[in-house]
């Protein structure tokens, strides 16, 4: 595929990358990069923002179950394009600064658009693009490229936000910040809608139609029974759950920079943005290494890094005078988090999951794997609000250390099982 249709293949993965991150920019990336500003302009606290993420997670929980089989029946360009259009529509509504109740409704709507219509279709399209021997690099390109896309969105947002501020950030009123941030939301929503148009018309789906059609007559219940017989599927649930909790923790880096390191809103937003630029480097590097060895091996390494650095953040070592240690620690943690995130679906080939059941497998695994969308936000928000400042952040990272340890055990077990199968 790569030699005969190299130009087409490159364009396909570029569209998958753009769409794969654009659909999540409005629900998550803006709040991650601009967390202090986001809380201020919407007049909410960490716990309330966490409850919005929980509503998203509850809707997503149901959507994973039914969205997976949907991806095994329909072409990805149509499902993904509709998801992008509807997500952008929600973004335009976000720019009106809805009340907290309606903000919850909006996040529930996004849980439907981004997961039911989009998630499994994107994963399946990427797995097919990678073929049998290039799963690591396929998902490495996908997640690394998504990181670069998010970084571009972040940089664009920071520049736009600072441009529309009349005064310096410390001198600007809440209303002035709201107007500037409104421009960020409107511009972001427009770009998401544009990517939806590109996906609908230019994402080639001919390669996927035969595979989707071959499985479309099978009963969904029968498919689930087949998937549940794989022990690696159950381990992958735990791996994704723990790795995804670690990924959700990256939401607080900008807030940590402000609360503990004493950065202002612009500088703290830039911390989150700079980290996003690491994802492409980590994604491609880890993907190449995984194709030469095993994806599960590098997931084990990723959890080790997450455990080590979360223990550092949960101690009193870091303060406003320890800039070098702060930067080094978040870099190592990011390598661990992104390594696990890049590869956990690359292991589907390693686990010998049938290609025709990819959508169903992704949906089933994601039911448990992505439950941090439900509970991570409230837990993180509660711990931060209950103990403001350094202590709250210590409690949050200690919680991450627990998840990292559990994920490490599951990843090692998965590695042992896949090694025996290969032998």
Q: pLDDT tens-digit profile of 21-52? A: 999 999 998 998 888 889 999 999 988 998 99
Question: CA nearest 346: which of 148, 138, 144?
Answer: 138
- Distance separating alpha carbons of residues 179 and 181, to the nearest angstrom: 6
**Cα radius of gyration rounded to whole Å, the chain:** 20
- Distance separating alpha carbons of residues 181 and 187, to the nearest angstrom: 10
- Distance separating alpha carbons of residues 295 and 134, to the nearest angstrom: 11
Summarize the confidence of residues 400-415 as an average pLDDT.
95
Q: pLDDT tens-digit profile of 157-197? A: 989 998 888 767 767 788 999 999 999 999 999 999 999 99
Confidence bin at 319 (pLDDT 50/70/90): low
Q: Rounded to 5 degrees, what angle do the CA atoms 40, 41, 42 make?
A: 95
By CB neighbour count within 10 A (0-12 exposed, 13-18 middle, 19+ buried), where does 167 fall? exposed
- Distance separating alpha carbons of residues 312 and 398, to the nearest angstrom: 9
Summarize the confidence of residues 62-75 as an average pLDDT.
81
Give, to the nearest 10 degrees, the angle between helix 278-292 and helix 265-276.
20
Higher pLDDT, 279 or 25: 25
DSSP 226-276: HHTT-HHHHHHHHHHHHHHHHHHHGGGHHHHHHHTS---HHHHHHHHHHHH
- Global pTM reads 0.74
pLDDT of residue 1: 41
Confidence bin at 2 (pLDDT 50/70/90): very low
Q: Rounded to 5 degrees, what angle do the CA atoms 315, 316, 322 make?
A: 115
CA distances 399 to 254, 266, 403, Å, are 18, 28, 7
Q: pLDDT tens-digit profile of 106-158? A: 999 999 999 999 988 898 888 888 776 777 788 888 887 887 888 889 889 98
Q: pLDDT tens-digit profile of 330-347? A: 889 989 998 888 887 888
Q: pLDDT tens-digit profile of 199-253? A: 999 887 555 544 444 444 454 677 778 888 888 889 999 999 999 999 888 878 8
Summarize the confidence of residues 367-392 as an average pLDDT.
88
User: Percent of the chain having pLDDT more than 90?
Assistant: 37
Question: Which residue's structure tokens are 């849980």?
Answer: 111
- Distance separating alpha carbons of residues 238 and 412, to the nearest angstrom: 12
pLDDT of residue 213: 45
Q: Is the CB of residue 286 less than 8 Å from the CB of residue 339?
A: yes
Reduce the secondary structure of 77-136 to three states and give it as a string: HHHHHHHHHHHHHHHHHHCCCCCHHHHHHHHHHHHHHHHHHHHHHHHHHHHHHHCCCCHH
pLDDT of residue 287: 83
pLDDT of residue 269: 76
Fold of 6-422: Growth Hormone; Chain: A; (1.20.1250)
Read off the tokens for 138. 């396929």
pLDDT of residue 334: 87
């Amino acid at each position: 595929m790569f030699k005969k249709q190299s130009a087409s293949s490159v364009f396909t993965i570029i569209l998958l990358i753009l769409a794969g991150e654009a659909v999540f920019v409005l629900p998550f990336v803006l709040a991650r990069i601009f967390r202090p500003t986001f809380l201020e302009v919407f007049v909410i606290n960490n716990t309330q923002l966490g409850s919005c993420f929980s509503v998203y997670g509850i809707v997503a929980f149901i959507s994973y179950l039914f969205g997976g089989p949907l991806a095994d029946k329909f072409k990805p360009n149509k499902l993904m394009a509709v998801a992008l259009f509807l997500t952008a529509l929600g973004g335009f509504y976000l720019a009106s600064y809805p009340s907290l109740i309606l903000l919850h409704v909006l996040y529930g709507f996004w849980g439907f658009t981004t997961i039911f219509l989009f998630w499994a279709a994107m994963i399946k399209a990427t797995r097919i693009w990678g073929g049998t021997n290039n799963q690591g690099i396929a998902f490495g390109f996908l997640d690394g490229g998504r990181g670069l896309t998010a970084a571009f969105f972040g940089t664009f947002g920071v520049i736009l936000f600072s441009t529309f501020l009349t005064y310096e950030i410390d001198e600007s009123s809440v209303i002035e910040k709201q107007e500037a941030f409104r421009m960020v939301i409107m511009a972001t929503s427009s770009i998401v809608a544009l990517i939806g148009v590109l996906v609908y018309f230019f994402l080639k789906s001919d390669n996927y139609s035969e595979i989707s059609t071959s499985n479309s007559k099978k009963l969904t219940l029968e498919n689930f029974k087949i998937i549940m017989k794989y022990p690696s599927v159950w381990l992958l649930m735990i791996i994704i759950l723990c790795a995804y909790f670690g990924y959700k923790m990256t939401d607080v880096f900008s807030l940590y920079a402000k609360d503990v390191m004493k950065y202002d809103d612009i500088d703290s937003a830039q911390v989150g943005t700079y980290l996003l630029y690491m994802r492409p480097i980590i994604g491609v590097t880890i993907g190449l290494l995984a194709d030469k060895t095993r994806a599960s091996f590098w997931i084990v390494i990723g959890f080790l890094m997450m455990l080590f650095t979360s223990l550092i953040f949960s101690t009193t070592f870091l303060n406003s005078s320890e800039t070098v240690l702060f930067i080094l620690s978040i870099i190592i943690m990011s390598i661990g988090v992104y390594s696990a995130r890049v590869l956990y679906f690359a292991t589907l080939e390693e686990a010998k999951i049938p290609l025709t059941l990819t959508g169903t497998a992704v949906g089933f695994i994601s039911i448990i794997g992505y439950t941090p969308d439900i509970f991570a936000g409230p837990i993180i928000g509660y711990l931060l609000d209950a103990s403001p400042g350094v202590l709250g952040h210590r409690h949050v990272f200690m919680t991450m250390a627990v998840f990292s340890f559990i994920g490490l055990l599951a990843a090692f077990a998965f590695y042992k099982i896949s090694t025996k199968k290969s032998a």
